[in-house]
Amino acid sequence: NAGVTQTPKFRILKIGQSMTLQCAQDMNHNYMYWYRQDPGMGLKLIYYSVGAGITDKGEVPNGYNVSRSTTEDFPLRLELAAPSQTSVYFCASTPTAERLYGYTFGSGTRLTVV
Amino acid sequence: DQQVKQNSPSLSVQEGRISILNCDYTNSMFDYFLWYKKYPAEGPTFLISISSIKDKNEDGRFTVFLNKSAKHLSLHIVPSQPGDSAVYFCAASSGNTGKLIFGQGTTLQVKP
């Protein structure tokens, strides 16, 4: 039972570089989400997807892009990294929009932009 | 404009006693509320939820209370155990996309 797998676990980027944070789930969940957590703050929604081929913006989408070509994968792309994108990124999934049962989260990617 | 607030950054209790974590919200359209627990270097894990049509939900040592008139919910942990030491996030949701809005978190320390 792999659940939600995020790679890499840690990454240091230089300002202006780009990278893709990978997220994969093996539970056949339709709904997937990307959140970021800044120190002392709650999680803020970046992007989400309700199924393959369907994505939409969350609270803080600027500087990020996503795609959802398969049910399993939901990569998050950072273009032109900025220090403000230093954060811990969490991917999550859930089978339906039924909110009583919560998400399954990955273990996170800690990103530092210098 | 923070729609979900946890005003206590930290809480310390003795093992065996009750832990009470609080959460306030501003949006009356929220219809589900959830609590998550997070250990360092791990992702959050779902703990317990409540629908807005209820005022209490219980699961073992964990009980969530919802006071809609006050726009307030609380998580009670009885009895508290050292393994409960973690960051607790409350979250709220409305609509049919499953999106959650999280509070800032409260760090609970349970002392042996």
| Number of continuous H segments (helices) and E segments (strands) in chain B | 0, 11
Q: What is the pLDDT of residues B35-67, one digit of tens each?
A: 999 999 999 999 999 999 999 999 999 999 999
Query: What pLDDT was estimated at residue A1?
Result: 63
Nearest by Cα to B108 from B35, B10, B40, B39? B10
CB contact under 8 A, A99 and B34: yes
Q: Which residues of B touch A50 (CB under 8 A)?
A: 97-98
CB contact under 8 A, A100 and B44: no
Query: What pLDDT was estimated at residue A43?
Result: 95
Task: Return d(Cα A39, Cα A67) in angstroms, integer.
Answer: 27
Q: What is the pLDDT of residues A71-101, one digit of tens each?
A: 999 999 998 999 999 999 999 999 887 777 7
Query: What pLDDT was estimated at residue A89?
Result: 98
SS3 A23: strand
Could you tell me if B61 and B77 are in contact, meaning their C-beta atoms sit under 8 angstroms apart?
A: yes
Nearest by Cα to B36 from B52, B51, B26, B21? B21
Other C-beta atoms within 10 Å of B34: how many? 24
